[in-house]
Amino acid sequence: MHLIENYARLPVRFVRGEGVYLYDEEGNRYLDFVSGIAVCSLGHSDPDLVEAICSQAKKLIHVSNLFENPWQEDLAGDLVREFWTEGKVFFCNSGTEANEAAIKLARKFFRDRGENRFRIVTFKNGFHGRTYGSLSATAQERFQEGFGPMLEGFDYAEVNDMDSVLKVLRDDTAGIMLEVIQGEGGVVEFDPDFLRDLQELCRERDLLLIVDEVQTGIGRTGTFYGYQNYGIDPDIITLAKGLGGGVPIGALLAREEVARSFTPGSHGSTFGGNPLACRAGLVVVRKVRTLLPRIREVGEFFKKGLEELRVGEVRGRGLMLGLDIGRDCKEVVLKALERGLIINCTAGTVLRFLPPLIVEKEHVEECLSILREVLR
């Protein structure tokens, strides 16, 4: 009634969640294979996460970034350990903010070296967020339409096409930004050889490699960060979605040399990295680390099961999988929902599966059996 209608909401009201299941007002149970769009990495009502949030809320929810924040220190240490030994972290509240920070940091890094390099190459079909920097980086007409003009300084290349990258590179290009698996774009994976070539190009031309790990990060693809599947070495990565297990938090990680360009006062966020969000993040990160082997195993099992349905191409890694059915998939999502399975349709024809990272084979079997019925 009083909400702006910018979402096409499905007619279900969830009131409670437990593990991989959600419950609606009437007590109906749903198997959740979307996890709030890759957010609820530990499923719903994880006891350790709930305990950490409650105990922190009783002590201190927020302090400003005018003061020291040991909770940020703890979480940053855990995040950096998986990235660069001398990396540094900036905390914010969402994916788009993390990417804004990455764009600003890339520009500032070159300005500080006295070079006027600010352009960033991104890839068609990618998704980086809804605020102007991130939206300008998002090379998809459907997100930009009606909101022009976009921010200056973005050039779009084709996924897995080095010629298209070389064609848009200029003297004032500062970096290349990508998702190793495009999520909103339909679970489209970059070719590992192409990514290694891109890394090589970044080294040769002194470009920053920025990997948007907002969806692929924090265990989603079976490695702690998605890029670790490909043997590349980014200069900057961005995180959000699964990091807080449902509490809003985003982060930017950068190599120390690059991170230095964010000097006191140059960038900031009021809420970014408050104690509540950081405590949640720390529980998630530590638990996800122990789940990685299982994520890979259950992911493989799930992928094989989807392939055996023989209804279209299966893409993705770990617990970030897509099934391209080659026709509009909205109807399938509705039919699955009626049968108690929550899945998502993205890029028009791609069924996307993002179950909580705690999912087990029996849940995958339950999902596959509902899918079999619905797709028949």
Ligand X SMILES: *Cc1c(COP(=O)(O)O)cnc(C)c1O
Q: How far apart, in whole angstroms, are the C-alpha atoms of residue 177 and residue 145?
A: 21
Is there binding between residue 322 and ligand X (CB under 6 A)? no
Long-range (24+ apart) CB contacts under 8 A made by 197-206 are 197/162, 198/162, 198/165, 198/232, 199/232, 199/233, 201/162, 201/165, 201/166, 201/176, 202/175, 202/176, 202/235, 205/169, 205/173
Q: Among the options 32, 46, 212, 324, which is catalytic? A: 212
Residue 95 Cβ vs ligand X, minimum distance, rounded to whole Å: 2
**Residue 241 among the catalytic residues:** yes
Instruction: Count the neighbouring beta carbons within 10 Å of the beta carbon of residue 244.
Output: 30
Residue 37 Cβ vs ligand X, minimum distance, rounded to whole Å: 7
The smaller minimum CB distance to ligand X, of residues 215 and 221, is found at 215
Q: Which is it for the CA torsion 278, 220, 8, 142, positive or negative?
A: positive
Pick out residues in 180-239 that bind ligand X (CB under 6 A). Answer: 183-184, 212, 214-215
With both helix axes pointing from N to C terminus, report the angle between 275-308 and 361-375 in degrees, rounded to the nearest 10: 60
Q: Among the options 108, 241, 287, 303, which is catalytic? A: 241
Eight-class DSSP state of 150? P
How far out from the chain centre does Cα 178 lie? 11
Interface with ligand X (CB under 6 A), residue from 32, 46, 100, 179: 179
- Which residue's C-beta sits nearest to ligand X? 95
Residue 281 Cβ vs ligand X, minimum distance, rounded to whole Å: 14
The smaller minimum CB distance to ligand X, of residues 237 and 371, is found at 237
Residue 199 Cβ vs ligand X, minimum distance, rounded to whole Å: 19
Is there binding between residue 127 and ligand X (CB under 6 A)? yes
CA–CA distances in Å: residue 30 to residues 41, 50, 103, 144, 340:
17, 21, 39, 34, 4
The smaller minimum CB distance to ligand X, of residues 56 and 99, is found at 99
Interface with ligand X (CB under 6 A), residue from 44, 108, 117, 128: 128
**Residue 127 among the catalytic residues:** yes
Interface with ligand X (CB under 6 A), residue from 92, 240, 336, 374: 240
Residue 217 Cβ vs ligand X, minimum distance, rounded to whole Å: 9
Q: Among the options 90, 91, 110, 127, which is catalytic? A: 127
Pick out residues in 142-171 that bind ligand X (CB under 6 A). Answer: none
The smaller minimum CB distance to ligand X, of residues 75 and 311, is found at 75
Q: How far apart, in whole angstroms, are the C-alpha atoms of residue 178 and residue 182?
A: 8
Residue 176 Cβ vs ligand X, minimum distance, rounded to whole Å: 15
**Residue 167 among the catalytic residues:** no
CA–CA distances in Å: residue 110 to residues 87, 123, 128, 208:
18, 22, 22, 10
Cα angle: 79, vertex 81, 83; to 5 degrees: 75
Q: How far apart, in whole angstroms, are the C-alpha atoms of residue 224 and residue 240?
A: 13
The smaller minimum CB distance to ligand X, of residues 213 and 324, is found at 213
Pick out residues in 66-105 that bind ligand X (CB under 6 A). Answer: 94-96, 99
Per the rule left: phi > 0, alpha: psi between -120 and 50, beta: everything else, 174 is: alpha
What are the catalytic residues? 127, 212, 241
* Interface positions with ligand X (CB under 6 A): 94-96, 99, 127-129, 179, 183-184, 212, 214-215, 240-241
